[in-house]
Amino acid sequence: MRFFTFLIFIFFSPLVVHAKIYILIEEASGHKFPIAVPPFQSTKGKISSLTEDITDLLKKDLNIAGYFKVLDEEAFLSPDEGGEVDFSKWTAIEAHALVKGIVDSGGGKLTIEMRLYDTQTRELLVGKQYRVGKKDYHVAIHRFMDELMEALTGTRGPFSSEIAAACGKTGARQILAMSIDGTGMREITKNKSNNISPNWSPDGESIVFTSFLNRWPEIYMTGSGGGGLKQLTNHMSTNITPAFSPDGSKIAYASSVSGDTEIYLMNRSGKTIQKLTHVLNIDLAPGWSPDGSQIVFSSERAGNLHLFVMGADGSGGGRLTYTGYQNDQADWSPDGQKIVFTARDRGAFDVFMMNPDGSLIQRITRDEGNNESPAWSPDSRYIVFSSARAGGTGLYVMLADGENQTLIPDTGGCINPDWGPWIK
């Protein structure tokens, strides 16, 4: 079971399934979808600081999504009365969709009802009611955001998922987990050592990472709530960049146990299964294809650090990148269509994207300091990465085309992000 401090129950779900796609993802960055979000009200018809906070988080998440134009409240006409929706007021300000919310704070918990309407057809697209702890309204907003995005784009959103990262001072970082908007931030590790390079298991129940807890950089595994810490390697050598296989049964990682840094496979108990690379140059940072048949990795076998691919058993494969002099930290999109990675060709690190065969390389970030450690969202539409811009390192989220780059609050000093699966 995932670690949470709350319980969430869905009481009411008249979800209307539509074949209509309102937002074409390919055109979303340039043609944002107008949506109105009037202030949520209490069951007594009043607006409070709590209902305002809930409304503000929903609007913030709509902006993070990058597909929506959240209409200014000053443009709204007179409010709807008696619980009825006067759609003519919303079409008059060119709102294509409308979200209405009611909050009941009785009984020690919050009951939040949210509805999404098509203002043109006057249809209810999504209707949900959630019961959560009073401090956990972000959980309800994230669930609703995923439903809203599925109704309007045809694909579920990534808001009900978490990002893990190594955060804190250099040499003393801890593994933290947080939502896409920075809410629900929690510590996974709580030790006095340095912990880096977290990687989620496919079921979201475990995280592997490298820690200097016993002086050497060794690989550890912990539950997603921080319990059950287990040391997987004990080689008294460099053991870094662990990555779960898509079925969760194996972990690929880089180790210098043989004297040269190579890529190995081990099972979840830490038993070595196979040495995958056998070249007298550094090989590291493995990343699995979503079907588990291939592994992309970084290697100095061609001189500068470049990306290569091989079969999951170490066979076959070939070189993917030929330009730049430090190509690293590759992550394969969950839909299998793209590989995102870090490269350095003009002095600074930037995020790049390419097809799995190495073709069609595109620069996604530019002229914003060093941008590193990109990782895909579970829906393959967003990328999280660390960036040393604006005077310090923090985590940013952007659309896969590089648009709508947004800082995740309170992530100063965070590096090595990895995006987990949807929370069950």
Q: Are 353 and 340 in contact (CB under 8 A)?
A: yes
Provide the Cα torsion 194, 199, 201, 207; round to 10°: 10
Helix (H, G, I), strand (E, B) or coil at 291: coil
The pLDDT of 396-415, averaged and rounded, is 96
Question: Does pLDDT of 390 surpass 90?
Answer: no
What's the CA gap between 315 and 155, in Å, rounded?
Answer: 35
Res 11: pLDDT: 39
The pLDDT of 102-120, averaged and rounded, is 94
Burial of 345 (0-12, 13-18, 19+ CB in 10 A): middle
Res 209: pLDDT: 98
Res 44: pLDDT: 84
Tell me the pLDDT band of 14, cut-offs 50, 70 and 90.
Answer: very low
Tell me the pLDDT band of 29, cut-offs 50, 70 and 90.
Answer: low
Tokens (6 digits) for 313 = 């058993």
Res 22: pLDDT: 87
What's the CA gap between 125 and 121, in Å, rounded?
Answer: 10
Mean per-residue pLDDT over the chain, rounded: 92
The pLDDT of 84-95, averaged and rounded, is 95
The pLDDT of 349-356, averaged and rounded, is 97
pLDDT in tens, 270-302: 999 999 999 989 999 999 999 999 999 999 998
> Is the full-model pTM beyond 0.85?
yes
The ranges assigned to domains in the chain are 9-153, 161-422
Given this structure, which CATH class describes domain 9-153?
alpha beta
Tell me the pLDDT band of 17, cut-offs 50, 70 and 90.
Answer: very low
20-34, 143-157, 314-328: least confident range: 20-34
Write the Ramachandran bin of 194: left for phi over 0, alpha for psi from -120 to 50, otherwise beta: beta
Higher pLDDT residue, 224 or 46? 224
Res 31: pLDDT: 83
Q: Is the CATH code 2.120.10.30 the one for domain 161-422?
A: yes
Residue 158: closest CA among 414, 410, 408: 408
Res 114: pLDDT: 98
Res 397: pLDDT: 98
